[in-house]
Structure 1
Amino acid sequence: MSNLTVANRYADALFQVAKEQKTLEQVNDELQLLKTVIESTPEFIQFLVHPKITLEKKRVFIQESFGGALSEASLHTIYLLIERKRTDILVPLINKFKELSYEAQDKAEAIVYSVKPLEASEQAHIVKLFAKKAGKKHLEVKNVVDPELVGGIKIRIGDRIYDGSVKAQLDRMQRQLIAGTR
């Protein structure tokens, strides 16, 4: 069985538990915190997979590091992955859980690329306009500053991209000029 399939099964199980306990948003936030730690600290996973470190030391490390920040369901899932030597699927599990959680909450993530950081009012306006286009009740905006856009914004919601940047318009004009059309 592939790692992605296994990660999806664990994510689905955790999703069912969080849904029953009505803690979807909380568990998702906890898992995003854990993902940030994993991505910024490679030593974290190295510690968890090290064969000479006992399971008990790994459990204590997780408890001391995240005990107050993680719910019981999240902690037990991590403990289970450590015991079964499956910590390599933590990030795919977190990604799948986020996908399931957002779907259940009729929510989507919008990655907004702009030349400068967006203000809260601009983000709220984007949410209002693009939530309807995406067919969701709410969008969670993640702003990425990209000076190469020259101006305007580019929005990615799932597999859809709405590109209203000056760079995209210049690229289109360049293709038209090369093709000889107007």
Structure 2
Amino acid sequence: MTDFKVSHRYATSLLEDSVEKNKLEAITADMILLSKTLKDNIKLQLALESPVIKPGVKSSILKEIFKDVFDEDTFKFIDFVIGKKRESLLNTIASRFLELKDEQIGEVQVSVKTVYEFSEEQKRVLIENLEKTLNKKVRLTFTIDENLIGGFVAKAGDTLFDASLQHQLGLLKNQLLYGSISKN
């Protein structure tokens, strides 16, 4: 079974369990923090993936890091995953959990790259347009990318909205090179 399928099954199980126990908000906060911590700390990720480090030690490391933050059910889930020797998938499971939760409640996370920081009015208009297009409530995260000439690039899951000046110039170039030009 592929890592994605395995991660999906674990994430689905965690989501169902958190809804059943009425702990969706707490578990979601834990998965956001776990995902961010694992992405930001490559040494921790490597320690979890190491076959040399015993499962009990891996569990202890995570409990020490998150002892005053995580819900007890999150720790039980992490121990279960480690017990099944799937700790290398914890980051993928956490990310998939967040995606599934968003799907369930009709939300979507959209990453937006811009040359400069958007004003509140620009953010509001972008949210309105994306919500109409995606038929979901939109949460935006912004990244400044000075390599863009202008405009923005928004990514929602597998969908890319490229409204950058660079992309528009490429389209114009292709139209001029390969399109028809009228003599009117």
Deviation at 1:131, TM superposition (A): 0.8
Q: Which residue of 1 aligns with 2:71?
A: 71
Q: Which residue of 2 aligns with 1:133?
A: 133
| SS of 1:113 mapped into structure 2 | strand
Q: Which residue of 2 aligns with 1:9?
A: 9
Distance in 1, matches of 2:147 and 2:53, equals 47
Moved more, 43-52 or 113-122: 43-52
Deviation at 1:122, TM superposition (A): 2.8
Q: Which residue of 1 aligns with 2:173?
A: 174
What letter corresponds to residue 77 of structure 1 in structure 2? F
Q: Which residue of 2 aligns with 1:155?
A: 154
Considering only aligned residues, what root-mean-square deviation do their CA atoms show, in Å?
2.1
Distance in 1, matches of 2:54 and 2:175, equals 64
Distance in 1, matches of 2:16 and 2:78, equals 16
Deviation at 1:99, TM superposition (A): 1.5
Over residues 132-158 of structure 1, what are the superposed CA-to-partner deviations in whole Å (9 max), with x where a residue is unaligned?
Answer: 21011x111011222233122222223
Instruction: Show the 5 A alignment for 1:84-163.
Output: 84-136=84-136, 138-163=137-162
**Matched residue pairs, number?**
181
| Contact persistence 1:38–1:45 (CA under 8 A) | yes
What letter corresponds to residue 154 of structure 1 in structure 2? V
Under a length normalisation based on structure 2, what TM-score does the superposition of the two structures give? 0.85
Moved more, 121-130 or 11-20: 121-130
Q: Which residue of 1 aligns with 2:22?
A: 22
Deviation at 1:50, TM superposition (A): 4.1
Moved more, 163-172 or 16-25: 16-25
CA change 1:26–1:119 in 2 (3 A) is farther
CA change 1:122–1:73 in 2 (3 A) is farther
Q: Specify every segment of 5 or more residues in structure 2 that has no aligned partner in the other structure, as ranges.
A: none
| SS of 1:147 mapped into structure 2 | coil
| Contact persistence 1:111–1:142 (CA under 8 A) | yes
Deviation at 1:63, TM superposition (A): 1.6
Q: Which residue of 1 aligns with 2:82?
A: 82
What letter corresponds to residue 143 of structure 1 in structure 2? F
Q: Which residue of 2 aligns with 1:37?
A: 37
Q: Which residue of 2 aligns with 1:165?
A: 164
Moved more, 146-155 or 46-55: 46-55
